[in-house]
Amino acid sequence: DAGITQSPRHKVTETGTPVTLRCHQTENHRYMYWYRQDPGHGLRLIHYSYGVKDTDKGEVSDGYSVSRSKTEDFLLTLESATSSQTSVYFCAISSQGSDRTLDNYGYTFGSGTRLTVV
């Protein structure tokens, strides 16, 4: 009932292999995001999407690409995984709020994907 699911939940992959993480939502929210969590850094934004086929880079986008071909799915791809990309990845979705009622903003995080690159 969370409205957002990430897959896989855990993955171990080898250096140099491509990896794709999937985020799926059932809320029809316009905005979707990928964050990574590393010790000492909190969560940092990798890429985000503000509509189908509309994506942009966050603060730690090097080595990552994304795609959003339909509203409900946002894919994160590591073209050639490196050990520095070992992390926990969180997807998030957000509704676009209204200027008049600031409390209209909803934000939901997925359960996370633990990726280990060996």
Partner 1 sequence: AQKVTQAQTEISVVEKEDVTLDCVYETRDTTYYLFWYKQPPSGELVFLIRRNSFDEQNEISGRYSWNFQKSTSSFNFTITASQVVDSAVYFCALMQVYNFNKFYFGSGTKLNVKP
Residue closer to partner 1 by CB (options 40, 118) is: 40
Q: Kindly state whether residue 8 participates in binding partner 1, applying the rule CB under 8 A.
A: no
How far does CA 37 lie from the centroid of its chain?
Answer: 11
Residue closer to partner 1 by CB (options 18, 51) is: 51
Question: Least distance in Å: CB of 16 to partner 1?
Answer: 27
Binding mask 25-54 for partner 1 (x = CB under 8 A): ------x-x-x----xxxxxx--x-x----
Please enumerate in sequence order all residues whose Cβ is within 8 A of that of 70, keeping only pairs 6 or more positions apart, or say none: 52
Pick the closest to residue 47 from 27, 63, 29 (CA basis): 63
> Scanning residues 79 to 118, which ones bind partner 1 (CB under 8 A)?
88, 90, 92, 94, 96-97, 102-103, 105, 107, 109, 111-112, 114
Catalog residues that contact partner 1 under the rule CB under 8 A. 31, 33, 35, 40-45, 48, 50, 56, 58, 88, 90, 92, 94, 96-97, 102-103, 105, 107, 109, 111-112, 114
